[in-house]
Amino acid sequence: MSLLNTLLLFSLAFFATLFGLAALLPVLREKRIGQTILEIGPSWHKGKEGTPTMGGVTFFFAVTLSVLLGCLFLPASATRALLWVLCFALFNGLIGVFDDLQKLRKRENAGLLPWQKLLLQTATVIFLLAMLHMEGALVTRVALPFSSLVIELGALFYPIALFVALGIINCANLTDGIDGLATSVGALIGTFFAVEGLGSAPASLAVLGAAEAGSSLAFFTHNRHPARIFMGDSGSLFLGAIAVGGAYLLGNPLLVLIFGLLYVVEGFSVVLQVLYFKLTHKRLFKMAPLHHHFEKCGWSEGAIVSLFSFFTLLAILLAHGLIAALT
């Protein structure tokens, strides 16, 4: 996989997303498919109510197109695992579509019930693990971050893999709470995948990364503050699934906890908020997830996106260092 081919795939995903948004936005406005804002959220977010949503479906078209073209640059043996990862991301994106449609039907910011969403997501994770196992691309040995230890988990690998995957996908969903945050993080993670795929990692990772980075960056041009369109759960669940699938192509699924550390922090802030409130009847943060705490402290959305993107960049550099140390 050459740098030129990677840039070609990045450009294809970028312009395909822009084309998709140009076609989709008038339809969403005409059908009045707009976001409903929770009353418990920051009061200034009410001004965003009615902003077109479900823009994440443009990822499906752009990323799929770019990945399928990228498969032409790869040997057949390398394409199958990549295509299963793409299917995994699309399945999660479709779960997001169902969730978004339920919210629109109910005219409130609550779609599928939590157990329904988890059940469907669990099925997608099992599907990914089964397909990668059939391709011989799944190993139950895991290299522990910050250590030279490689542990054979055996059957224990599968519940751990399921827990981590579900956690990251849903934490990515939580990250999509202010304009431009989820797309900026997605673009950085995609760039990380592309760089690793051009180096020591499988070339299929460069294809996936170029597609994610190009599509996320294009969406950011419409999603940065003030956002003209939201991605909805269809987009955030898709991006979370790509992060999980990319970690498998990288050969170490636990690395998603490092390069996706922002997802972990955002999710953990919600868990801490709930536990602390149950124990003390007080709030640890002004609001959770963490980006809303910064908002309540007076930070602008642009400043929060810049800070969290820089944090993600540091996490990515740490993951890169770990990969270099393990190779």
Cβ atoms of 269 and 257 closer than 8 Å:
no
User: What pLDDT shows up at residue 1?
Assistant: 79
User: What pLDDT shows up at residue 305?
Assistant: 98
User: What pLDDT shows up at residue 49?
Assistant: 75
Cβ atoms of 121 and 112 closer than 8 Å:
no
pLDDT in tens, 68-127: 999 999 988 889 999 999 999 999 999 999 999 888 877 666 668 889 999 999 999 999
Which parts of the chain register pLDDT below 70?
Answer: 36-47, 107-111, 145-146
Give the residue from 287, 309, 288, 109 showing the smallest Cα distance to 224: 309
For tokens 């895991």, what's the residue? 142
* Sign for the pseudo-dihedral over CA of 110, 116, 119, 124: negative
CA distances to 62, 136, 144, 166, 238 from 325, rounded to whole Å, are 34, 25, 12, 28, 30
User: What pLDDT shows up at residue 46?
Assistant: 60
Write the DSSP symbol of residue 216: H
User: What pLDDT shows up at residue 309?
Assistant: 98
Residues in the chain: 327
User: What pLDDT shows up at residue 41?
Assistant: 56
The amino acid present at 17, given as its one-letter code, is T
pLDDT in tens, 197-210: 999 889 999 999 99
The amino acid present at 23, given as its one-letter code, is A
For tokens 């922090």, what's the residue? 265
User: What pLDDT shows up at residue 47?
Assistant: 65
Q: How far apart are CA 240 and CA 182, in angstroms?
A: 10
